[in-house]
A and B are shown apart, each in its own frame.
Chain A
Amino acid sequence: MIEKGNVDLTVLMNKIGQDQALAARVLKVANSPFYGFSRNIASLKDAGIMLGIHTLQHIVTAAGIIGHFSTERNLNFSHAAFWQHSIGTGICAKVLARHSALDQETAFTAGLLHDIGKLVLAVHFPNDFLRILEYRDEHDCLLKDAEKAVLDFDHSIIGAKITEHWKLPDLIISSIRYHHTPDAESVLPLAGLVHIADIICRGMEIGNGGDTLIPVISSGVMEDLGLDWDAVKNSLPEIEKLNASANVLVEQDDINTFDKCGGV
């Protein structure tokens, strides 16, 4: 429904309203300081009017996917740290999108979901994931390199496959697929933006996607996006401020439960 891009607000509201947990989460996010509305958004209808259908579509996507994984666990993986990193990357992509003339909401969703393949691995293939963690620790390498060594492919492939299955927009699927290789031929700029956002978040230590290392920025990506270091530098306070208000996307109860499960 969201993929088609021409969603009717009333139809979307009715669909959300059928899922109480999703509706509650959407309202919670809509009322968070992240969106900066001073008035209380009390109903889905108000949320649609205040935020606009475009933003709402992205909130629903984010809330739905986070909710989908909120009951699944892997004791070797800190879900809270994972989502903090994902949200942070989404925020960083959103803030930097302004400098690259890319759509901010799409950038947020792409950043939020860029590592979703890792979560699929951790939750649904725990034995393989454990082997990957062991390889990473033994070789002091990036998680993606450990994944390639153990599985012969990495989380970006899994993430692209699952988001394709969920019928997310091609632009988001492509940015997930190429966020580690944005300099590959014919890759769209959004992948480069997510690539940079991921690296900045790792540098700022916002959450943890399973690495203590930071990948190198692909050459030419900054130029392709029209980004310069001053823009990055000046964006850091806003990224940090928005990040402090955005954790409402992950329910506090989920974080508490996840934290008690241990960490990466």
Chain B
Amino acid sequence: MPGSILAYDVLDSRENLLMKAGLKLTVQSLAILERKNISHIHIVDDVIQTPEQLEIIKKTIEESLAFRFRKSSSSPEMRKLQSILLAYQLEK
């Protein structure tokens, strides 16, 4: 499902890194996995989350939001929205 987070790195048949653990899956990244014939991946819900994995997830969420808000965070309304979305996603 788009929105799921990869628990482990995804490698192709030649052991090349395709996607790093912590990546939030999108429609596009799932399509890439399909094209590369990757039939199984582990998402964070599948595995017991270690503190390290939780830290990766938290960092990924923060970085992803910071990237999208990179040119709008000077607005107080946008900073508020960013903090609400961060809290919501971390809570999930």
Contact = CB atoms under 8 A, between A and B. Distances in A.
B78 A214 contact: yes
B70 A213 contact: yes
Given A205-B24, A259-B28, A259-B30, A217 B64 contact: no
A140 B71 CA distance: 9
B81 A200 contact: yes
Q: Which 5 A-B pairs have the closest CB atoms?
A: A259-B31, A263-B28, A217-B77, A216-B75, A216-B72
Nearest to A236: B88
Interface of A: 78, 80-81, 84, 140, 199-200, 202-205, 207-208, 212-217, 219, 222, 229, 232-233, 236, 255, 259-260, 262-263
Contacts, number: 74
Interface string B57-83: 000000011011111100101101110
Given A259-B27, A259-B34, A229 B80 contact: yes
B55 to A, nearest CB: 20
A263 B70 CA distance: 22
B72 A84 contact: no
A204 B82 CA distance: 10
Contacts of B82: 203
Interface of B: 2-3, 24, 26-28, 30-31, 34-35, 64-65, 67-72, 75, 77-78, 80-82, 84-85, 87-88
A256 B68 CA distance: 26
25 contacts: A78-B28, A81-B26, A81-B27, A81-B28, A202-B68, A203-B68, A203-B82, A205-B3, A205-B24, A205-B64, A208-B27, A213-B70, A213-B71, A213-B72, A214-B69, A214-B72, A216-B75, A216-B77, A216-B78, A217-B78, A217-B81, A219-B77, A229-B81, A232-B81, A262-B31
Contact of A260 (B24, B31, B67, B81): B31
Contacts of B87: 233
A203 B3 CA distance: 13
A246 to B, nearest CB: 13
Contacts of B30: 259
Contact of A229 (B2, B70, B71, B84): B84
Given A208-B28, A213-B68, 14 more contacts: A80-B27, A200-B81, A204-B85, A213-B72, A214-B71, A215-B72, A216-B75, A216-B78, A217-B81, A232-B84, A233-B88, A236-B84, A259-B27, A263-B28
Which residue, B65, B75, B77, has most C-beta atoms of chain A within 10 A? B77
Contact of A84 (B27, B34, B67, B71): B27
Contacts of B34: 259
Contacts of B80: 229
Contacts of B69: 203, 214
